[in-house]
């Protein structure tokens, strides 16, 4: 009987782990902030109804020697967010102290490529929890073909946001550029608008949880 209970607990734990996804990626921050590498970050989201212990988990882009290791005792709440910031001090200076950060140890290596890279979330035993092989093409929410539209994720300041947490992570249709304009920094390519610097620690601006911004994101305005 105890063995059956243990097996059920393992199954439940596995289901809970599967609900944690890579939810937002800032791979090419705005040049207006300064050094590109100082403002890179990755957000994870627990799409489940129970907390998940992520002690010892690793965030990596598969570069040799790269891997942010989550300290023991770290839990992501049900429907909660955690952010891996490459430089915590600069992240807080720009986004404020209200965003939940992972106090990881280890190295992020050369950081996230501005062209194409893999963002991989692994458990403590190196099991891949989620993997996103992004690039900077139109399909992945970047470079819409002109410079007079809302921010895109390839250097105009926007993040790459997951539209649906249940979507296939390797499919470009699961992702789009963030559309919030709370940065306070004027968008040099779109007169009268601010740059979008993503929504770390909050519902994505293009999420199916928030249909209004997603609809707006697909409207191209040219001035």
Convert the pLDDT of each residue in 91-150 to its tens digit.
999 999 999 999 888 888 888 999 899 999 999 999 999 999 999 888 887 755 444 444
The H or E element spanning position 162 is: strand 160-162
Q: What is the CATH number of the domain that holds 121?
A: 2.60.40.1260
Question: Does residue 4 sit within a domain?
Answer: no
Please state the domain count of the chain.
1
Burial of 167 (0-12, 13-18, 19+ CB in 10 A): middle
**pLDDT-based confidence at 4, cuts 50/70/90?**
very low
Question: Does residue 9 sit within a domain?
Answer: no
Question: Does residue 176 sit within a domain?
Answer: yes
Question: Does residue 138 sit within a domain?
Answer: yes
pLDDT of residue 190: 73
pLDDT of residue 53: 97
Q: Residue 70 sits in which domain range? A: 20-217
Question: Does residue 184 sit within a domain?
Answer: yes
**CA distances from residue 113 to 22, 24, 116, 133, 201 in whole angstroms, order as listed:** 17, 15, 6, 11, 22
Which token pair is 146? Answer: 């002109």
**pLDDT-based confidence at 158, cuts 50/70/90?**
confident
Rounded (5°) CA angle 86-89-94: 95
pLDDT of residue 204: 94
Question: Does residue 100 sit within a domain?
Answer: yes
66: Cβ–Cβ under 8 A, 6 or more apart, which residues?
60, 107, 108, 109, 110
pLDDT of residue 125: 94
Which token pair is 129? Answer: 């929890």
What pTM value is reported for the model? 0.83
Task: Inform me whether the pLDDT recorded for 27 exceeds 50.
Answer: yes
Task: Inform me whether the pLDDT recorded for 16 exceeds 70.
Answer: no
pLDDT of residue 65: 77
pLDDT of residue 196: 85
Question: Does residue 34 sit within a domain?
Answer: yes
* 33-61 b/e (C-beta count within 10 Å ≥ 16 → b): beebebbbbbbbbbbbeeebbbeebbbbb
Question: Does residue 14 sit within a domain?
Answer: no
């Amino acid at each position: 009987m105890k063995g059956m209970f243990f097996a059920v607990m393992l199954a439940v734990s596995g289901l809970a782990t599967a609900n944690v996804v890579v939810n937002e990626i800032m791979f090419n921050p705005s040049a207006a902030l300064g050094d590109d590498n100082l403002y890179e970050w990755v957000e994870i989201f627990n799409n489940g109804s129970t907390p998940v212990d992520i002690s010892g988990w690793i965030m990596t882009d598969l570069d040799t020697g790269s891997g942010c290791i989550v300290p023991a005792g770290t839990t992501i709440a049900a429907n909660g967010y955690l952010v891996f910031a490459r430089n915590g001090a600069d992240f807080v200076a720009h986004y404020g102290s209200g965003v939940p950060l992972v106090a990881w140890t280890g190295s992020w290596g050369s950081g996230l490529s501005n062209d194409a890279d893999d963002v991989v979330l692994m458990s403590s035993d190196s099991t891949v929890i989620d993997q996103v092989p992004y690039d900077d093409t139109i399909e992945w929410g970047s470079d819409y073909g002109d410079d007079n539209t809302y921010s895109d994720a390839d250097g105009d300041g926007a993040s790459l946001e997951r539209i649906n947490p249940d979507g296939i992570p390797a499919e470009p249709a699961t992702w789009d550029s963030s559309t919030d304009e709370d940065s306070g920094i004027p968008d040099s390519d779109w007169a009268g608008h601010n740059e979008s610097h993503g929504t770390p620690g909050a519902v994505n601006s293009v999420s199916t949880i928030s249909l209004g911004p997603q609809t707006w994101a697909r409207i191209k305005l040219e001035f």
